[in-house]
Amino acid sequence: MHQTFILRQLLATAIILLMPMTAGAAEIAVTLPPLAGLVTMLDQKAEVTCLLPAGADPHHFQMSPRKVEALNHSELLIRAGADDAGWPLLPDHARTLKLWPRTDHGWLNPSSVRDALPLIAKALIRLQPERRDAIDIALIHALQQTRDIEQAWRKALSGLATDGVLMQHPSWRRLMQHMGIAVLAVLESTHHGHEMGPHKLEYALSTLNQHPDAWLLDDATHSNQALDWLARHAARAPHRVTLDALGSCGLSWSELMQMNIARIKGRSQP
C-alpha cells in the first residue's frame, strides 16, 4: 500500500512537470484610474496598479514609497502625457507608453480613446504574445464600445447644442468641443488650482446672463468656487451638474462614461 502511494505521488509529480507552464498575468502600472479601465477593456487578466489614489488631485501628487515599489515591479507603465507631466516619475522605467502627449484629458473623449486603444493593445501583446488572439478580439469589441458611448453622449448632450457650458476645470472641454457644444468659459486660470481674477469672473457672469440656458459643469475632484460665485450672482439660477473625470481604479471606462452620461440625463429631467 505504501508503494502504491509512492507511485501515485511520482505519477502526479510527473504530470505536473509535463504540463505546459501558464504565464502569469501582466503587471501594469497606470498613472490615472481611467487608464486602468482602458487596459481591462483589452485584457481582464492584467494586474493593474493605479499610482493615483482615489480622490487625490493629479496635479499635486507625490508618490508614496509603496507606489514607487509598485512602479518598479511593473512590466509596463501607461501615462497620460499631458496630465501627469509634472509627476516625479522614475524616468528610466524599461517600458513606458505615453498616451495623448499634447492632448489633456484624452480618456474623456471616445474619439481619442479609439485612437489610443490599438496602441495599448500593441503594448500588451508585446508583454504577452501568447494572448495576441484574445487581445485582438477584445480590441474589436472595445472599439465598438467607444462608438456606442459616443452615440450615448451625443444623445445626452443634444439639448445643450444651442445653450453651451461653462466649467471651472477644463476636464470636459475637449469632449464638449468634439460634440459641438460651445464652451463659453473655463474659469480656472492658467495656473492649476487658481481661479480667474475679478474682471474675468465678471465677464463670465455677463456671458452666463446672455446665455441663461447654459449649464455649469462642476468637476468632482476639483474646487468649483468660481462656479459657486456665478450661480449666486446669475440673473437666473443656472442648470448645474457635477461630473467625475477620474472615477476609481476598479471602474471600467464604459462604466465611468455611463455614470457621467446618467448624471447629464438625470439633470436634464424636468
Task: Convert the pLDDT of each residue in 117-129 to its tens digit.
Answer: 999 999 999 999 9
The position carrying cell 487578466 is 45
DSSP per-residue letters across 78-93: EEETTTSTTS---TT-
pLDDT in tens, 190-208: 555 455 667 889 999 999 9
**Per-residue pLDDT, 56:** 74
Burial level of 104, CB count in 10 A (0-12/13-18/19+)?
middle
| Residue 118 sits in the same domain as residue 197 | no
35: domain CATH number? 3.40.50.1980
| Residue 142 sits in the same domain as residue 230 | no
Q: Tell me, what amino acid is at 12?
A: A
Question: Final residue of a domain: which of 114, 131, 154?
Answer: 154
**Given phi > 0 = left and psi -120 to 50 = alpha, else beta, which region is 193?**
left
What is the number of structural domains in the chain? 2
| Model-wide pTM > 0.75 | yes
Contacts of 138 (CB under 8 A, 6+ apart): 41, 42, 43, 121
**Given phi > 0 = left and psi -120 to 50 = alpha, else beta, which region is 128?**
beta
| Residue 203 sits in the same domain as residue 214 | yes
Q: Rounded distance, CA 6 to CA 107, Å?
A: 58
**Per-residue pLDDT, 13:** 40
Contacts of 239 (CB under 8 A, 6+ apart): 213, 214, 215, 216, 267
**Per-residue pLDDT, 54:** 75
Q: Rounded distance, CA 254 to CA 37, Å?
A: 8
**Per-residue pLDDT, 61:** 72
Question: Final residue of a domain: which of 134, 154, 174?
Answer: 154
| Residue 125 sits in the same domain as residue 39 | yes
Strand intervals (E) in the chain: 27-30, 47-50, 76-80, 96-99, 165-167, 183-186, 215-219, 239-243
Q: Which domain holds residue 215?
A: 156-268
Average pLDDT of adjacent 10-residue blocks, the chain of 270 residues = 46 41 73 96 93 76 79 91 77 84 94 98 96 97 98 94 91 95 84 63 94 95 90 94 94 96 80
**Per-residue pLDDT, 179:** 96
pLDDT in tens, 13-38: 443 344 343 456 789 999 999 999 99
Q: Rounded distance, CA 29 to CA 3, Å?
A: 50
Question: Final residue of a domain: which of 154, 175, 203?
Answer: 154
Q: Is residue 196 part of a domain?
A: yes
Contacts of 56 (CB under 8 A, 6+ apart): none
Burial level of 101, CB count in 10 A (0-12/13-18/19+)?
exposed
**Per-residue pLDDT, 258:** 97
Using an 8 Å Cβ cutoff, are 124 and 26 in contact? yes
The position carrying cell 496598479 is 49
